[in-house]
Chains A and B, each alone.
Chain A
Amino acid sequence: NAGVTQTPKFQVLKTGQSMTLQCAQDMNHEYMSWYRQDPGMGLRLIHYSVGAGITDQGEVPNGYNVSRSTTEDFPLRLLSAAPSQTSVYFCASSFVAPSDTQYFGPGTRLTVL
């Protein structure tokens, strides 16, 4: 049971480049989400999903796309990277029951030059 995995762990991009952050979970969780963490800002929700084929925007969705074709995978795409997207990105998953714990991946540290 690997839990929530994220790849890559580190990434450096140039402004305008695109890339995909990968997230996978093996716990059959319906709910998956992406956060970014910046100093002094806590965790900010980017996008979330409650099942395959269902996604929705969070607090800071601009510049990011997601898709959910399977229960296990929830990739985050940066369409045209900007320096403001320099951050640490976390993927999380859980069952939709509100009593359930969120399980977080180890994070991806992204730098946009």
Chain B
Amino acid sequence: AQSVTQLDSQVPVFEEAPVELRCNYSSSVSVYLFWYVQYPNQGLQLLLKYLSGSTLVKGINGFEAEFNKSQTSFHLRKPSVHISDTAEYFCAVRSSGGSYIPTFGRGTSLIVHP
């Protein structure tokens, strides 16, 4: 079985400040890790994903995430946020063997204030 925990349900931040959205997972097998973004009144779209190789993954809109196997974490970061980054962010995991069904975290609402 696998699970995903997003530690913060809501993260308020001022424009141009850095932000980190936290994600921890558990799985008995190797996993692939994803971050999705959901802008207001839209579906989810891929921000970035970790499959293998370098633990630092760069995605769209200046976001990056670091895979830490020992801490079973995949935190999302951006050095300077914009108002347009206001959205819901979901961390997801898919097992490398066995079930292909992805497991999603409950989401973190990023609110960027001017």
A49 to chain B, nearest CB (A): 11
B107: chain A residues within 8 A (beta carbon): 42-43
* CB atoms of B106 and A31 under 8 A apart: no
Name the segment of A61-69, A71-79, A101-109 touching the other chain. Answer: A101-109
* CB atoms of A104 and B100 under 8 A apart: no
A67 to chain B, nearest CB (A): 19
Q: Total number of A-B contacts with CB less than 8 angstroms?
A: 54
B16 to chain A, nearest CB (A): 29
B51: chain A residues within 8 A (beta carbon): 99
B48 to chain A, nearest CB (A): 10
Q: How far is A42 from B90 in the complex, measured between Cα atoms in Å?
A: 8
Of chain B, the residue at the smallest CB distance from A50 is B100
1/0 contact string of B74-114 vs chain A (CB within 8 Å) = 00000000000000001010111100111011110000000
Is A2 at the interface (CB under 8 A from chain B)?
A: no
Of chain B, the residue at the smallest CB distance from A109 is B41
Of chain A, the residue at the smallest CB distance from B49 is A101
Is B32 at the interface (CB under 8 A from chain A)?
A: yes
B43: chain A residues within 8 A (beta carbon): 4, 90, 104-107
* CB atoms of B100 and A40 under 8 A apart: no
* CB atoms of B9 and A98 under 8 A apart: no
* CB atoms of B100 and A31 under 8 A apart: yes
Partner of B104, one of A43, A105, A107: A43
Q: How far is A83 from B57 in the complex, measured between Cα atoms in Å?
A: 42
Is B45 at the interface (CB under 8 A from chain A)?
A: yes
Please list the residues of chain A having a beta carbon within 8 angstroms of any beta carbon in chain B. 4, 31, 33, 40-43, 45, 48, 50, 58, 90, 92, 96-99, 101-102, 104-107
Please list the residues of chain B having a beta carbon within 8 angstroms of any beta carbon in chain A. 9, 32, 34, 36, 41-46, 49, 51, 90, 92, 94-97, 100-102, 104-107
